[in-house]
Amino acid sequence: MAAANPVLPGFHPDPSICRVGADYYLVTSTFEYFPGLPVHHSRDLVNWQLIGHVLDRPTQLDLDGVRSSGGLYAPTLRWHDGLFYVVCTLVGSPEDRPGGNFVVTATDPAGPWSEPVWLGEPDSFDPSLYFADGEAWFCATRPNPASPVAGGTEVWVQAFDVATLSLVGPQTVIWHGALVDAVWAEAPHLYRVPDGVLLVIAEGGTAFHHAVTCARADHVTGPYRNAPTNPVLTHRHLGERYPVVGAGHADLVEAADGTWWAVALAMRTRWADDGYHYPMGRETFLAEVQWEDGWPVVNPGIGSLRERQPGLGGAQPSSDYGYSVRDDFSRDSLGPGWSFVRTPRAPIASLTERPGWLALHPQPTSIEDVGCPAFLCRPQDSWDFTASGVLEFTPRTEFDVAGIVLRQSEGFSLQLLISVDSAGRRVARAIRRFAGVNEVAAVVPVADGPLHLSVAGAGLEYHLAVDDVSLAKLDGRGLSSSVAGGFTGTMLGPYAHAPAGSPIAYWNWFAYRAN
């Protein structure tokens, strides 16, 4: 059985949580991937089920032209008076289209969610909502022009009108970070506590120096007093070789039994000669919270994230924990676990034109372009895994390709592709794309007919095979943001590309097994 922490393994950053009765709901960032903002449900805080997405229609989410690691940043999920609210920021939208902060609502967190209502404030990000004492407030972060350090920010609040979903009244700057010369004081969340209003933020940047700090005030607009225990959560004091780094960006929730909990992001790492790497990206972890002198204490007696974290009432992960899945493509539509890169505008994936098969229509846009390629993907969520499937594909030219891709961005990927060579022979290619340059590791002739393709991850090494014959072993450090930059984790799955838009790549099944 896999460890119970992270509770949402793989690319699930910036978690935000809320409770309604005995039900817990959680959303995470998706950046340039569509659909946007997955909604997970749990009753025990360790076993989570994907029930839908907040933004699942092109009218809600236009990601055309958005760069990698742009898109949807740091949502906050809240429930108030029978309605669910999500506020989020769309980063990098072209100037002729809406962008910045927005709010959507739903009566059912599984959807459907409303069309976005744009809130303006283009320089602000990481928005949050606070409902208490008959008031509603919007809270966010923006650059602080008076800061003496690069990355200095300020947290501000403004009243929120629930009837019109708009910001009203004056803005008040309430915080600049807990530590001297704090950078990237961001991800603010406000909570009503017995001693007033608690402000919880992230600071230090969402990498090794990430941390959670807090402050308290009698009223939302302050003044706020720094917690004497800050930071209340960080792993930076544990050193770069600690297996989990970057703990931060926390959201708190009170359980029905009166206990308190936190969800936070962090990264599981492997060490190499050039430092630590985390191809799975930033993941969602769980921690217990107790209160001492009106301040939150995270995992008392430990002060860091646990490798195994029991949930409510000591709940443990279920026996099928680990997100191993097999899709036989027997439905009429794709399941909610699949994603695209940016908003799909053309029919890319069909389950009806050849029942029992995924028909993946190649697009002129490739995995190396800023666009929406024919790439159906899901997160890598385990160090050791196998992703495999049966592909039927008859390429006509050496530019027609189909296979399995592991993507970090346009410039960094691993590719197992079926094509033809200059002599017209069908071949399999193993490609490592690093900093925008393709390195062909192997080219091997393959037989006609359906092929079994597989990629097996083993730490930072990835083994590519065709019909169970080893093709290449590739270095996967370029799949980590520590090398590639950005904020996303590895996404993998079936892929096809052809300049003319054909031939179609047919997949009989695709499976992901966490080993």
Residues known to be catalytic: 14, 186
Specify the length of the chain in residues.
515
User: Which residue shows structure tokens 């910036």?
Assistant: 14
List phi, psi (to 5°) of 304. Answer: -145, 175
Cα separation of 492 and 412, whole Å? Answer: 12
Residue 482's H or E segment, with its range, is: helix 481-484
Q: Are 215 and 224 in contact (CB under 8 A)?
A: yes
Side chain identity, residue 27: V
Task: Convert 372-385 to b/e letters by CB count within 10 Å (16 or more is b).
Answer: bbbbbbbbbbbbeb
Tokens representing residue 241 in the block: 């070789």
Q: What is the DSSP secondary structure assignment for residue 396, as one 8-state letter?
A: S
Give the E-state strand segments of 81-152 in sequence order: 83-91, 100-106, 117-120, 125-132, 135-143
CA 74 – CA 62 distance, rounded (Å):
17
Q: DSSP 3-state assignment of 11?
A: coil
Neighbours of 274 (CB within 10 A): 9
C-alpha 27/C-alpha 15 separation (Å) is: 6
First to last CA, the chain: 10
Pair 374, 348: CB distance under 8 Å: yes
Nearest CA to 29 among 10, 44, 46? 10
336 upstream amide cis, omega within 30 of 0 = no
Report the distance separating Cα 460 and Cα 383, nearest Å: 8
Q: 3-state SS of the chain: helix, strand, coil percent to 5?
A: 5, 50, 45
Q: Please give the Cα distance from 104 to 223 (Å, whole number).
A: 30
C-alpha torsion 428→430→436→437, nearest 10: -90
Q: Where are the beta strands (DSSP E) in 133-243?
A: 135-143, 153-161, 166-175, 186-193, 196-203, 211-217, 225-226, 233-234
**For residue 257, is it left (φ>0), alpha (ψ between -120 and 50) or beta?**
alpha
Query: Which of 4, 79, 6, 54 is closest to 284 using CA atoms?
Result: 6
